[in-house]
Amino acid sequence: MIRLYGLFALIDLVLIIVALISCLSAEEHEIRALPRVVWVILILLFSPIGAIVWFVAGRPARPVRLSNGTVWKPGSGFPENERPRPVSPDDDPEFLRGIAARRAEQQGQDEDLMKKWESDLRRREEELKKREQEE
């Protein structure tokens, strides 16, 4: 039984040392979730849970190899040529076609309305002329 406890204590000590080396050698801006000082305290005080949590949640994320062969490091943003860029309305052909279509539709509606008003005005003028002639 003492050998088993000794083995667990040795594994715990190795895990703490490896976690501390990993934590202290990582770049400050790459450490996730908490500041480095807090990670060191967690690793030392909450053995072996603190070391395990460091490896799961605090260690810097590994670079990812993309399908086109380039390597992308999490937190480094998009590669410049793949960065999504917002298109301003003046540069968006679909938006400009939509404006032209709406303008043509509105112009057609305005012309129809104007013709309706003109015909209504002519009808009223004729009615007035008829009334004046009858008097």
The string over 52-85, giving b where at least 16 C-beta atoms fall within 10 Å of a residue's C-beta and e elsewhere, is: ebbeeebbeeeeeeeeeeeeeeeeeeeeeeeeee
Distances (CA, A) of 107 to 90, 94, 104, 113, 114: 22, 20, 5, 10, 10
Note if the pTM is more than 0.75. no
pLDDT attached to residue 82: 64
Structure token digits, residue 39: 């990670």
Element (DSSP H or E) covering residue 56: none
Terminal Cα distance for the chain, rounded: 127
Element (DSSP H or E) covering residue 71: strand 71-72
pLDDT attached to residue 97: 87
Do residues 65 and 77 make contact, with C-beta atoms less than 8 angstroms apart?
Answer: no
Q: Which residues contact 15 (CB under 8 A, 6 or more apart)?
A: 47, 48, 51, 52
Tens digit of pLDDT for each residue in 81-123? 666 667 677 777 888 888 888 998 999 899 999 999 999 999 9
Question: What is the four-CA torsion angle of 102, 105, 106, 109, rounded to 10 degrees?
Answer: -160
Give the C-alpha separation, 31 to 18, whole Å.
16
Tens digit of pLDDT for each residue in 6-32? 899 999 999 999 999 999 998 888 888
Q: Which residues contact 65 (CB under 8 A, 6 or more apart)?
A: 71, 72
